[in-house]
Amino acid sequence: MNVRDKRLQLEGLTVSFDGFKALNNLSLHVDPGEMLCIIGPNGAGKTTMMDVITGKTRPDSGTARFGVDIDLLGMSEAEIVGAGIGRKFQKPTVFEQLTVFENLELALAGSRSFLTTFRARMSGAQQERIHQVLDIIGLLDQRDAFARILAHGQKQWLEIGMLLMQNPELLLVDEPVAGMTPNEVERTAELLRSLAGEHSVVVVEHDMAFVRSIAKRVVVLHEGSVIAEGDMDAVQKHARVIEVYLGV
């Protein structure tokens, strides 16, 4: 396994849509193995930032580097996935008509062409890997269940599992606990905590209690820039944060 030491470094990112600055000179970094939470009111630029990192949106200015020598801004979405950055979208999209196991199978690394997948046989190591991930996401018992019968929370975990199959260095997770029951929220927190260290994890989330339970470091975005950063307690006491976000 490669050494996981790539630091994500964003510098001076600006993105404008018709004059509206979705990102305004945004700079932040994510250390290897770190768990970072990003919070901020609607329109603060959280999703745009994710889009820039994953190559979906090109910034007007600024730099985005992964490790010392990878310039994310010059890469396609697929290349960025290949470089080890996986993203989990807000809305869970798993393949409903496939089983949990098959969902993970399709996420296995390897050639994606028709002929190779037609001839593909699962190796012992691949099966092992799928079982490992099933264990991590807590769906071992649902291995052969169709994804469509999973509860909402389980679908989210399955999707995280699909990301893990590709063993990314950096995981971007967009609102993982929206719509989850308290019990599911707790298990998701556990899951994400267990991933940090092995992977760098960036979580965008509204749920304050959840953020408090997982993050050591929190970054607050507002109008496309970082307005505060630190641990949850420090951030919650920050005057500007209280003003724009916590609305007290």
Partner 1 sequence: MSESGKVPGLWRRTTLVDRGGPRGIDRGGRGLLTVLAVVAVAVPLLNQVVPATSAFHLSPFGITLIGKYMCYGMLAMAVDLIWGYCGILSLGHGAFFALGGYAMGMYLMRQIGPRGVYGDPVLPDFMVFLNYKSLPWFWQGFNHFPLALAMVAIVPALLALVFGWFAFRSRVTGVYLSIITQALTYALMLAFFRNDMGFGGNNGFTDFKEILGFDLHSDRTRVVLLVITAAALAAGYAACRKIVESRAGRVVLAIRDAESRTRFLGYPVESFKLWLFVISGILAGVAGALYVPQVGIINPSEFAPINSIEAVIWVAVGGRGTLYGAIAGAVLVNYLKTYLTGAFPEIWLYALGALFVLVTLFLPRGITGLLHLRSTQT
Binding residues vs partner 1 (CB under 8 A): 77-78, 81, 93-98, 102, 105-107, 112-115, 117-120, 144, 146, 148, 152, 162, 179
Environment class of residue 134 by beta-carbon count within 10 Å: exposed (0-12), middle (13-18) or buried (19+)? buried
Q: How far is the CB of 70 from partner 1 (least distance, A)?
A: 18
Is residue 25 within 8 Å of 225, Cβ to Cβ?
A: yes
Nearer CB in complex with partner 1: 81/136: 81
Q: Determine how β-strand 8-17 pairs with β-strand 61-66.
A: antiparallel
Is residue 40 within 8 Å of 245, Cβ to Cβ?
A: yes
Q: 202 phi and psi, to 5 degrees?
A: -115, 120
Nearer CB in complex with partner 1: 109/209: 109
Nearer CB in complex with partner 1: 14/90: 90
Cα-based distances in Å from 67 to 8, 32, 81, 109, 221:
6, 9, 14, 22, 23
Name, in order, each residue with C-beta under 8 angstroms of 76's C-beta and a sequence gap of 6 or more: 55
Nearer CB in complex with partner 1: 40/153: 153
Rg value, the chain, Cα: 18
Nearer CB in complex with partner 1: 40/55: 55
Nearer CB in complex with partner 1: 27/117: 117
Q: Give the type of residue at 144.
A: D
Q: How far is the CB of 152 from partner 1 (least distance, A)?
A: 7
Q: How far is the CB of 175 from partner 1 (least distance, A)?
A: 16
Q: How far is the CB of 188 from partner 1 (least distance, A)?
A: 17
Is residue 125 within 8 Å of 208, Cβ to Cβ?
A: no
Q: Determine how β-strand 8-17 pairs with β-strand 85-88.
A: unpaired
Q: How far is the CB of 23 from partner 1 (least distance, A)?
A: 23
Q: How far is the CB of 93 from partner 1 (least distance, A)?
A: 5
Nearer CB in complex with partner 1: 3/125: 125
Helices (H) and strands (E) in the chain, counts: 10, 10
Which tokens go with 73?
A: 């801004």
Q: How far is the CB of 173 from partner 1 (least distance, A)?
A: 15
